[in-house]
Amino acid sequence: MQTLERIIEEHPFFEGLDHGFMDLVLGCATNVRFGKDTYIFKEGDTANTFYLIRQGNVALEIFAPQRKPIIVATLGEGEILGWSWLLPPYHWKFHAHVLQDTRAIALDGKCLRKKCEENHDLGYEVLKRFAGIVAQRLESTRFQLLDVFSAQK
Amino acid sequence: MTAAAAQLDVMVPTACVLKQVTKETPDTFTLTVARENGSAENAFAPGQFSMLWVFGVGELPISISGDPSKHEELVYTVRSVGKATHALVSQKPGTEIGVRGPFGNGWPFQAARGHDVIIVAGGIGLAPLRPMIYEVFRNRAEYGRMVILYGARSPRELLYRKELAAWARQPETQVLVTVDYGGIGWHGHVGVVTTLFKYARLHPARSVAMICGPEIMMRFVTRQLQEHGLQEQNIYLSMERNMKCAAGFCGHCQYGKHFICKDGPIFPYSEIGPLLDKYEL
Amino acid sequence: MATRAQTPRVPRKKREPSPTRNSPRAAAELTSKGNGSQSQPDGKPRGKAAPVNEFDRTNLRPAIIAPAQLEKIIATLLSDGFEVIGPTVRDGAITYEPVKSVSDLPTGWTDEQEPARYRLKKSGSPAFFGYSLGAQSWKPYLHPAEVRLFAAEKRDAAFHILNNDSAPTVSRAFLGVRACELAAIKAQDRVLLGDKYRDPIYASRRESAFIIAVQCSHAAATCFCLSLGAGPKVGEGFDLLLTELVDQTGHRFVVKPGTDRGLGLLARLDAKPASEADLAAGESAVALAANQQRKLDTAGLKEFLYETFEHPQWDKIAARCLSCANCTMSCPTCFCTTVDDATDVTGTHAERWRRWDSCFTQSFSYIHGGSIRTSGKARYRQWMTHKLAAWTDQFGSSGCVGCGRCITWCPAAIDITEEVRAMREGGVCADA
């Protein structure tokens, strides 16, 4: 059985994290599992956690009246689920629907926010990593919006 | 046939019987055409294309999507998006269609032997890559790992779904499929094809990548591959331009100094990279 | 001094009693007996015969013929079954048309060419070839503007190819081919015969063509062949080369054979050896033509154009260019074509036609969803960059021969030499 520290270290998101920071992060982390077809969070819920996905597949879903739920992206092994905990008003914008049994490390957002406020070096480190994720997701979303496979041009 | 007529071969189609039409997606069909004179000597290379002529309607460049080792047939996957493609996919089995070719250079399958093969396909772009996938499976020991990344618009627009599942069960093969727009019935990945790279187990130093899809998609994919450390000369793209003759006479398919029809359609990124971001080239 | 031109007439090959004018054998008939090296009309070299270019010129010196012998050249070619295409005056321009005698030639006419301007005027000279060059090149006769690729007949689910127009119905002799035009034919040979595939339509017309080149004695204001190394002096690629001389010694032609069949024709003329003075007069006539106004700086031009993709000059050209495609239609090397399919009303008879196309049309670059080159700027850039840069990478030489037709026939007076100069000088176009 891997220690929590080892799991966090090996997750791409925290790759190469300074040991001092690791101790701080570790204090906010817990191991979690989600069964298929459950929801990790729902749109509008308070966002006080984020997840380092170790295994599984989670869909970000949204729905509109008269429409079936739409999946805007899926997230799997090695990815981060959730950044709404970072910025006010700390509310989730999508449902997180578990498509396959999922194992993850949950990080307490409140706890981490507090530590980031106290230690801006940690805050900068965490924000830099999130900025990378946000940039990637934005690029993918733009690419997705181009709808390159559409027959109508 | 007279000597003069024999010389005309390159511009005159051969009448071939359409054996089968299979619906792949709501607008995409796979056509199987009998090839009477097919043999190991004139086998097509994976990635080559033909010019398919519908009697009196028009002619289209269509990639061959079948198995190169099946000499008695030529298989094409056609998306019905215009008058000529619609006419082509509406032909009844037993009808003759005109076939010219195969044309073009094909995927660098010989150079890829001894390497891992990374296949990245978008939409109908899987069709010209399928012969390459068949080639790898037929000569499995000649190649390293094969990673197939495939993205389509939505689950119902995925080509060759059963085959994708079967390929995924083969040893030394990883198949990852994603769609841009998922629905509740879809339990696979949702996101553009580049989002699959983080799940792919790649060995960039010993890999050759082959990409086919819309040009924007190929640009995004190429960037990802380079970020993963693939060499420019080991990334191959299949290009598309207007084609009328397929033999280098009509001038339509020019892309910088290249004729897509006879120099391509497949080019290493090291050759065409600088052209890809030139608007209206 | 004996020349080959004075040797006894080469016996002609046995002919059918009443040869038709359209005899496909015509092209081979002027071949001299010794070196039966001409290609057959179907393009297959005959037996183990030496290729055309092994013609032995070492023993030859040019001959002199009187102007009246030109009539004999035309008559001989006609009687041998050739359709003779030569310069003639039509609709106020020199055009290359079927000619029956020297009376069809533009005797005493010369041309004035400027950007967007073409005029004929009387020169008062007895010269037959006193103009610079025709409005159209020989391209229409070798690479037809319209040709049926095939017809097909459908019966139930099957169809069969009926026929094609690949073989020309007649062999042609071209009278009055200029150096730049020979260079243009050579350029098209490279594209349509010398590449990965061979265009049989071009091949059959090209191989049967009998080429009589005529040296230029003056250049139009639009000429710049010298810059491209394409002229004005004719180098090779002809069956017979004429230099027309009109001076105090009189009106006469220096004649030089370039192939066995050219020699065969010369042997049937009334010729005497050319004197040193004649040859010198010929040289100085061509030298006059070399005094060209327009120049194109070709040094590093390929690399320069590849690097000027975003040059502001393209926008300036686009503001003037009408995308009318005149430049591509009049260009002797432009080879692009499209195809059209048609059926009769019953739907059982189909034809496929090939027609000249131009990179100046929107549809030229159409792929599903739209055209690649939607702007006039992109289309002009494609044409010029292909012509002056990519062509070199594709076929080993420039696609421009400096004939100047694109300048003369551009209704907006866009001058390719000026545009290159403007780009090189940093984007200031003289008349934009």
Q: If you average pLDDT over residues B88-100, what whole number do you get?
A: 96
Contact across the interface for B189 and A74, Cβ inside 8 Å: yes
| CATH architecture entry for B3-103 | Beta Barrel (2.40)
B267 touches chain C (CB under 8 A): no
Which candidate from B157, B191, B199 shows the least CB-CB separation from A140?
Answer: B191
Give residue A10's identity as a one-letter amino acid code: E
C170 touches chain B (CB under 8 A): no
pLDDT above 50: residue C21:
no
Which partners does chain A have (≥3 C-beta pairs < 8 Å)?
B, C
| Residue among B173, A96, B147, B97 nearest C157 (CA) | B97
* Residue of higher predicted confidence among A151 and B281: B281
Q: Give the residue from A72, A143, A147, A150 with the most B CB atoms within 10 Å of its CB, the best one to mutate.
A: A143
Q: Where are the domains of chain B?
A: 3-103, 109-238
Strands C210-214 and A70-76: unpaired
Q: Taking CB atoms and an 8 Å cutoff, what residues of chain B touch C149? A: 8, 11-12
* Residue of higher predicted confidence among B259 and C44: B259
Residue-wise pLDDT tens digits, B41-50: 899 999 999 9
Among A61-65, B151-155, B247-251, C293-297, name the one with the lowest average pLDDT. Answer: A61-65
The alpha carbon of residue C221 is apart from the nearest alpha carbon of chain B, in Å, by 30
Note the pLDDT of residue A69: 83
Note the pLDDT of residue C362: 93
Q: Which chain C residue is nearest to residue B10, measuring alpha carbons?
A: C197
C17 touches chain A (CB under 8 A): no
Q: Taking CB atoms and an 8 Å cutoff, what residues of chain C touch B8? A: 149-150, 164, 166, 200-201
Contact across the interface for A68 and B191, Cβ inside 8 Å: no
Confidence of residue C207 (pLDDT cuts 50, 70, 90): very high
Helix, strand, coil share (%) of chain A residues, nearest 5: 35, 30, 35
Tokens, residue B250: 């009509």
Instruction: Please give chain A's pLDDT, 153 residues, in tens.
Output: 578 999 999 999 999 999 999 999 999 999 999 999 999 999 999 999 999 999 999 999 998 787 778 899 999 999 999 999 999 999 999 999 999 999 999 999 999 999 999 999 999 999 999 999 999 999 999 999 999 998 765
Residue C41 contacts residue C24 (beta carbons within 8 Å):
yes
Tokens, residue B252: 């339509």
Q: Give the residue from B180, B181, B193, B227 with the most A CB atoms within 10 Å of its CB, the best one to mutate.
A: B180
Own/partner long-range contacts of A135-143 (Cβ < 8 Å, ≥24 apart):
A137/A73, A139/B220, A140/A73, A140/B191, A140/B192, A140/B194, A140/B195, A141/A73, A143/B192, A143/B194, A143/B216, A143/B217, A143/B220
How many alpha carbons fall within 13 Å on the CB side of residue B33? Answer: 31
Cis ω before B102 (30° cut-off from 0): yes
Residue B156 CB neighbour total at 10 angstroms: 13
Note the pLDDT of residue C10: 36
Q: Cα torsion at C121, C124, C125, C131 (round to 10°)?
A: 0
Q: Taking CB atoms and an 8 Å cutoff, what residues of chain B touch C341? A: 53, 56-59
Tokens, residue C219: 């250049």
Residue-wise pLDDT tens digits, A53-82: 999 999 999 987 877 788 999 999 999 999
Number of helices (H), then strands (E), in chain B: 8, 15
Q: Give the residue from C39, C349, C367, C387 with the most B CB atoms within 10 Å of its CB, the best one to mutate.
A: C367
The alpha carbon of residue A143 is apart from the nearest alpha carbon of chain C, in Å, by 18
Residue C60 contacts residue C151 (beta carbons within 8 Å):
no
Sign of the torsion angle spanned by Cα atoms B190, B195, B201, B206 = positive
Q: Taking CB atoms and an 8 Å cutoff, what residues of chain B touch A77? A: 199
Note the pLDDT of residue A66: 76
Which candidate from C42, C157, C343 shows the least CB-CB separation from B56?
Answer: C343
Chains A & B: contacts with CB separation below 8 Å: 71
Confidence of residue C2 (pLDDT cuts 50, 70, 90): very low
User: ipTM, 2 decimals?
Assistant: 0.92
Note the pLDDT of residue C18: 39
Tokens, residue B186: 């879809």
Which fold does the domain A4-145 belong to in CATH?
A: Jelly Rolls (2.60.120)
pTM of the model: 0.88
C370 touches chain A (CB under 8 A): yes
pLDDT above 70: residue C287:
yes
Q: Taking CB atoms and an 8 Å cutoff, what residues of chain C touch A153? A: 368-370
The alpha carbon of residue C25 is apart from the nearest alpha carbon of chain B, in Å, by 14
Q: If you average pLDDT over residues B61-87, what whole number do you get?
A: 96
CA dist., res. B159 & res. B177, Å (int): 11
B107 touches chain C (CB under 8 A): no
Contact across the interface for C167 and B11, Cβ inside 8 Å: no
Contact across the interface for B249 and C335, Cβ inside 8 Å: yes
Class of domain B109-238: alpha beta
Contact across the interface for A78 and B189, Cβ inside 8 Å: no
The alpha carbon of residue A67 is apart from the nearest alpha carbon of chain C, in Å, by 29
